[in-house]
Chain A
Amino acid sequence: MRRLLALLALAAALPVHGQDKVLRIVPHSNLNILDPIWTTQYMARNHGYMVYDTLFGTDEKNRIQPQMVEKWSESPDHRLWTFTLRSGLAFHDGAPVTGEDVVASLERWGKRDAMGQKLMTFVERMDSPSPDTFRIFLREACGFVLEALGKPSSNVPFIMPKRVAQTPADRQIDDATGSGPYIFAKDQFKPGDKAVYLKNQKYQPRKEPPSGTAGGKRVYVDRVEWNLALRDAQSQVNALVRGEIDIIEQPAFESYEPLKADKNIQVVNSNPLGFQYMGRFNHLHPPFNNPKVRQAALAAFSQEPFLRAQIGVKDLYRSCASMFTCGTPYGSPKGSEVQSKSNVKKAQELLKASGYDGTPVVLMKPTDLAAIGKLPDVAAQLLRQAGFKVDLQAMDWNTLVGRRAKKDPPQQGGWNMFFTAWVAPDIWNPLTNPAVGALGEKSWFGWPSDPALEKLRDEFARATDDAKKKALAEQIQARAFEIATHAPLGEYVNPLAARRNITGFVTGPGNLYWNVKKN
């Protein structure tokens, strides 16, 4: 009997996959969409990085580096770009990656992604004169071809087989065949339970060391399992402490103290640029249809109270006066004085001068999203101190997401302001940052309209000189602060927590699982 019990105990202790090295991860959210072009969800993007490869990557110093591309050239008038793919690239089904696959993938991406759409306004045509070559013909020169192709966050221009990329852009793909370092185990995918990625044994990494989304993508584990069922923050910590999982991608801020206290657990900041908080005004309806009122609100929004209340851990946040991520090429305090040098008295003066008539400001507060849930409370308090009437309305995040798409007046189910957070690459330049788009009702929620700002963004898109681009980005930001498109509310990082035997984390916008070793 004792022998039997011992055998049973041993059987229970053994991992299901005997000798396999399995990396068990709790991702930051659920994975339900497997098409990283169709949606901008970060989980779909992270899935994309596992399965697909990219033409270019962005390294740790935010420089664009070739990835699938071996070499490229640009005509003297900047209108013809020729790219050669490196040899040995193959999809998971064994088919070689060709220029035609690339062209089809870029066409589909160009219909969904904001930066891709902008790029396509310059593109006359694309073709593939030979299997390992593709060309982009531009109508006129533009300065962000490589930035667009090496874009590290949603929507990333992942390369898919032509047959998959030919799926209409408004329909989700069904085939997850890529050419990336992992193969998606579709038969083992259980939405809401787990997603499994197997090492792509035939993947040929670049020779360079890994750096951001660029460099050699070497895989040192046999499989990666995303635990999609483990959503409770405390249960995640318990599971990590017990060694039932290896990594928590985004622990709750209050979990860091207990996690750091455990000698078997490390806290790793693999995304040092982190995230930026943002408060978005609705430009369509009173009182925020008045730029002077928005300016008054900006003046009330000192960043420190938001960060202190929301994050609490001083090491994890910083004030940043820039609308484009601080510490990146376009990060600058230009034009931010209205907010960065503000105080309540100034906000009160501006509000008085604006002619504000006491219209209540409807703030939407998500009650189920711990990462941003306290921002509206702080905003409400600061706005009240400045003299605003505030109507703080609590709801779950998905109600908020649905409601913010409504253009109705606040009293008919619309809104005046909501808060969100962006990963750095999504907002670090004037073309990727959706909040500085000012095309009116075609813009991102909040719908600012400002021809002057759009003209500057167009000039930025056309500029090919780095110094000029930097100067234009500063002008764009100054104009955006002037018309108060939105309120940047500071930056923060949300380091991952892992068992100490996990090493080799790569720095990037999301969580990248090549180069990671399980010792």
Chain B
Amino acid sequence: MLVFLLLRLTPGDPAAILAGDAATAEQIAAIRVSLGLDHPLVVQFAIWLAKLLSGDLGQSYYFRMNVTTLIAQRLEPTLALTALTMLLSVVISIPLGVIAAWRHGGWFDRALMGFSVLGFSVPVFVLAYLLIWLVSLQLGWLPVQGYARIADGFVPFLRHLVLPAITLSVIYMALIARVTRASVLEALGEDYIRTARAKSLPELRVLVRHALANAAIPIVTVIGIGVALLIGGVVVTESVYAIPGLGRLTVDAVLARDFPTIQGLILFFSAVYVLVNLLVDLSYVFLDPRIRF
């Protein structure tokens, strides 16, 4: 309801955008009527809510498509991008965080912390342009832009996705590596670690089976919270790399004052966020058998 109201209070008229530059005020008014924007806000809200309750997100003003279909069309690129980003981030940053905690105070630890500060500080679009310049324009290894659907072949799919995923994963890696380091560091000071080492267990087993396993809850939590960060990053990354996903759709919808699409996207992103956090909460049971819901 808040989103609905905020959108209607935002300056800008979708009818004027659709009509074109030479349209008259009368033509714009006629389009407003055809979009149902002439109704009082309460009526507009009631219509939208009634449709929503029957599973209909409405019709996009700008794209003239059902919003659900529109979101479904754009889902694959965003899903692929975020999945690869999360995979890269988790696979790289957790081991790095563990090593940094293990070598606490050493050069590796300092370098990683320096990297994480940099990762937080560099805007996504700057990083994207730098990577494009280096990897695509100078080395010619990967395409500058675009998206290839997985159905068109795995290699082109991957080639188009690697650079955006690296771009997006840097900030995420910085976050996960820092939290991993802090959590593992705390775990390494615990009695059970001392006991494990006293039992002459291999250091790798101590780190992974005992320290990391006990530090897992904050790490998993931050991965879940970081999804919001990813959603924000996706908007910028998809714009720079011309990926026709939900991020790009969000930008287009906001610029066009496409209220039904914006509302649909916010609902969708909110649902994803809630779902991810629910999964994170449920995972606590597996990570720490003492926890019961």
List chain A positions with a Cβ less than 8 A from chain B: 8-9, 11-12, 16, 30, 32-33, 39-42, 44, 112, 114, 154, 170-172, 190-194, 227-232, 234-235, 238-239, 241-242, 244, 368, 395-396, 398-399, 401-405, 407, 420, 422, 426, 434, 441-445
Given A191-B62, A238-B144, A398-B17: 5 more A-B contacts, CB < 8 Å: A9-B155, A235-B132, A242-B144, A402-B257, A445-B25
Question: Are A39 and B241 interface neighbours, CB within 8 A?
Answer: no
Q: Is the CB of B156 within 8 A of A238?
A: no
Which residues of chain A are within 8 angstroms of B11 by Cβ–Cβ distance?
A: 395, 399, 402-403
Binding site for A on B (CB under 8 A): 10-14, 16-28, 30-31, 34, 62-65, 70, 73-74, 129, 132, 136-137, 140, 143-147, 152-153, 155-156, 159, 239-244, 248-249, 252, 255-257
In this complex, which of A114, A191, A228, A420 has the most chain B Cβ atoms within 10 angstroms of its Cβ? A191
Q: Which 9 A-B pairs have the closest CB atoms?
A: A402-B13, A40-B20, A193-B244, A230-B242, A40-B22, A41-B20, A191-B63, A399-B11, A229-B242
Is A398 within 8 A of B132, CB to CB? no
Query: A242-B144, A398-B256 are contacts. A235–B242 as well, Cβ < 8 Å?
Result: yes
Least CB distance, A229 to chain B, in whole angstroms: 4
Instruction: Chain A residues near B153: list those with CB within 8 A.
Output: 11-12
Residue of A nearest to B158 (CB): A12
Contact flag A238-B242 (CB < 8 Å), given A33-B18, A170-B34, A396-B12? no
Name the residue of chain B whose CB is nearest to the CB of A234: B129
B143, closest chain A residue (CB): A244
Instruction: Say yes or no: A426 contacts B156, CB within 8 Å.
Output: no
Q: Are B13 and A235 in contact (CB under 8 A)?
A: no
Tell me the smallest distance from the CB of A363 to a CB of chain B, in Å.
16
Which residues of chain B come closer than 8 Å to A399, judged between CB atoms?
10-12
Assembly CA distance A403 to B62 (angstroms): 18
Tally inter-chain residue pairs, CB-CB below 8 A.
147
Q: Which of A171, A228, A234 contacts B34 (CB 8 A)?
A: A171
With beta carbons under 8 angstroms apart, the residue of B21, B30, B70 that contacts A170 is B30
Candidates A190, A231, A407; contact of B239 at CB < 8 Å? A231
The reply to whether A39 and B13 form a contact with Cβ atoms under 8 Å apart is no
Q: How far is the CA of A79 from the CA of B269 in the complex (A)?
A: 62
Smallest CB-CB separation from A16: which chain B residue? B152
A230 to B64, Cβ gap below 8 A? no
- Beyond A190-B244, A242-B143, whether A154 also contacts B252 by CB under 8 A is no
Question: B143 contacts which chain A residues (CB < 8 A)?
Answer: 242, 244
Q: Choose one: A39, A227, A230, A244; the contact of B20 (CB below 8 Å).
A: A39
Contact B25 A405 (CB under 8 A): yes
Known: A192-B63, A244-B143, A396-B255. A238 touches B136 (CB 8 A): yes
Q: List 5 A-B contacts (CB under 8 A).
A: A32-B63, A171-B34, A242-B144, A407-B25, A442-B24
Interface contact B257-A238, CB-CB below 8 Å:
no
Contact A235 B241 (CB under 8 A): yes
Contacts of A228 in B (CB 8 A): 244
In the complex, which of the residues B20, B136, B155, B244 contacts A192, with contact meaning CB atoms closer than 8 Å?
B244
Residues of A within 8 A of B255 (CB): 368, 396, 398
List the A side residues contacting B146 at CB < 8 Å: 227, 229-230, 239, 244
